[in-house]
Amino acid sequence: MDINKGNILLVEDEENLHEALKLNLEMEGYTVTSAFDGNAAVKATRNEYFDLLILDIMLPELDGISVTETVRVHNSEVPILILSAKNNSADRVLGLKKGADDYLTKPFNLEELLLRVEKLIMKNKKIQDKESVGDIYEFGGNRVDFKSLMANNFKGEAIELSKKEALLLKLLIENKDDVVTREKILQVVWGYNVYPTTRTIDNFILNFRKYFEQDSRNPKHFHSARGMGYKYTD
């Protein structure tokens, strides 16, 4: 299937179940990254963008609840579906309290799992989709034409934008006043599974300040939120 319906991190240490789930998810059109222990899962979330995490609770090294807590410190957006052999309300409540979006007990019906996966991904994408700003945007005496990749700043200087600069600029503007996480920037600007260093994104923000800020050392429009992401304000 050519259309990728979403990127999923599958964290399950029972190999037969892992392979069966991976195969079925891929047949549904998802791209699946595998992890077999909690530490590998946390590492993967720091290097790639995922539309969903499927987490077993009983994992080597770091259990699923601890993975959920750790991921939520840096990423409040990614949906998390917990799989558990424990079928009691206390564990379910704990999982949801620590940041999981859904909870499925083993053994589960495969069709139900696939349905929950689809709903979680679709719901998250609807939340993340912001209204487009259109081709032309003006702020602080600056004018940006996203279609032609050209801008004119408050000094009247013409600036030629790279495609990635335009994509990042548009993403920040469409999320005005909200911090955009590095994971979201990774997804939209760089494409899946390619992680730019924080320094790379910082350099883009420095360029925007140089282009569009009246005082680049005291920026009004382009801000870094340490350890979280980046924000635009008008």
3-state SS of the chain is: CCCCCEEEEEECCCHHHHHHHHHHHHHCCEEEEEECCHHHHHHHHHHCCCCEEEEECCCCCCCHHHHHHHHHHHCCCCCEEEEECCCCHHHHHHHHHCCCCEEEECCCCHHHHHHHHHHHHHHHHHHHCCCCCCCEEEECCEEEECCCCEEECCCCCEEECCHHHHHHHHHHHHCCCCCEEHHHHHHHHHCCCCCCCHHHHHHHHHHHHHHHCCCCCCCCCEEEECCCEEEECC
Same domain assignment for residues 114 and 154: no
Angle at 91 between CA 87 and CA 96, to 5 degrees: 115
Query: Is the same domain home to 147 and 216?
Result: yes
User: Each residue of 30-81: pLDDT tens digit?
Assistant: 999 999 999 999 999 888 889 999 999 999 999 999 999 999 887 778 899 9
Q: Are residues 19 and 106 in the same domain?
A: yes
Q: What is the mean pLDDT of residues 150-178?
A: 94
Query: Using an 8 Å Cβ cutoff, are 224 and 205 in contact?
Result: yes
Q: Quickly state the pLDDT bin for 90 (edges 50, 70, 90).
A: confident
Percent of the chain scoring above 70 in pLDDT: 94
Q: Do 181 and 78 share a domain, yes or no?
A: no
Query: Do residues 170 and 83 share a domain?
Result: no
Residue 212 lies in a domain: yes
* pLDDT, average across residues 86-95: 79
The residue among 208, 215, 199 whose CA lies nearest residue 231 is 208
Q: Are 39 and 64 in contact (CB under 8 A)?
A: no
Name the pairing type of β-strands 158-160 and 150-152: antiparallel
The pLDDT confidence band at residue 21, using thresholds 50, 70 and 90, is very high
Per-residue pLDDT tens over the stretch 172-205: 999 999 888 887 887 788 775 556 666 888 899 9
In which domain, by residue range, is 101 found? 6-128
Domain final residue, candidates 128, 147, 175: 128
Give residue 1's pLDDT.
42
pLDDT for 56:
94
Q: What are phi and psi of 209, to 5 degrees?
A: -65, -40
pTM of the model: 0.68
Task: Report the domain count for the chain.
Answer: 2
CATH number at residue 157: 1.10.10.10
* Cα–Cα nearest to 5, from 68, 70, 50, 38: 50
Q: Are residues 10 and 124 in the same domain?
A: yes
- Enter the tokens of residue 192: 């899946």
